Amino acid sequence: MTLRLFCTPGTAVSAVAIAPEEAERPYDTVLVNFARGQQAGAAYARINPKGRVPALATDNGVLTEATAILEFVADTNPAALLRPESPLAMARMREAMSDLASTVHVNHDHKKRGRRWADHPGSLEDMTAMVPQTMAASAAHLQAHCLHGPDVLGSNFSLADIHLFVICTWLERDSPRVGEFPALAAFMARMETRASVAAVRAAGLLL
């Protein structure tokens, strides 16, 4: 099956690219240029009507939402052991990824994507000003409650580690310094040693 990943550097796409790298599963990439507004254009709407990346085109249709795409890659490449077997560990993995996608990612979006929620200049300014605080609170929460050991699932690498890593690469941009969170910093340093992360960085998808 051909896999084609629609991507923009520095976004949640990097997580989705790390998974096939872990599985040594070939995939093509197509750049969606945010600077040119391509994500909001008619051509990309035919790929993802939500106007967001990532989107993964397969022979059987397009998948969107980072968490769904990550699980698809894990399930179609079982030898890569990217997801756990036990229902509790699986739920724990989804618990972390849901939090990352629906809370931490949304906190981050208040910095540059505030227009989704407000258009009064004062409201936008207020939302942007809160980001260092909300992302610091997110980082503290992730360190204390998301990591159950060196990895999210204790000491079993999974999709949740990939997702956590990519979202944490945004922390420095949003002010909290990763170094202020030693367990998160150690986790990030270990992730940087993975060949999958090096490959995605070399491809220019991780900023």
Ligand X SMILES: N[C@@H](CCC(=O)N[C@@H](CS)C(=O)NCC(=O)O)C(=O)O
The contact set with ligand X (CB under 6 A) reads 11-12, 39, 51-54, 65-66, 101, 113
* Sign of the alpha-carbon dihedral angle for 50, 205, 109, 114: negative
Query: Of the two residues 22 and 99, which places its CB atom closer to ligand X in the complex?
Result: 99
C-alpha Rg value of the chain to the nearest Å: 17
Among residues 78, 17, 80, the alpha carbon closest in space to that of 3 is found at: 17
Task: State which residue, 66 or 139, has the beta carbon closest to ligand X.
Answer: 66
CB of 13 to ligand X, least distance (A): 7
- For ligand X, which is the closer residue by CB, 9 or 150? 9
**Residue 186 C-beta: closest distance to ligand X, Å:** 25
Report in angstroms how near the CB of residue 156 gets to ligand X at its nearest: 23
CB of 182 to ligand X, least distance (A): 27
Can you spell out the DSSP letters for 27-78?
-EEEE--GGGTGGGSHHHHTT-TT--S-EEEETTEEEESHHHHHHHHHHH-G
Pick the closest to residue 66 from 128, 15, 142 (CA basis). 15
Q: Which residues contact 101 (CB under 8 A, 6 or more apart)?
A: 12, 65, 66, 67, 163
Q: Which is nearer to ligand X, 52 or 83 (CB)?
A: 52
Pairing of strands 28-31, 4-7: parallel
Count of Cβ atoms closer than 10 Å to residue 34 Cβ: 15
Closer to ligand X by Cβ: residue 103 or 150: 103
Which residues have CB under 8 Å from 13's CB, separation 6+? Answer: 5, 6, 7, 53, 54, 66, 205
User: Rounded to the nearest whole angstrom, what is the least distance from the CB of residue 190 to ligand X in the complex?
Assistant: 23
State which residue, 34 or 190, has the beta carbon closest to ligand X. Answer: 34
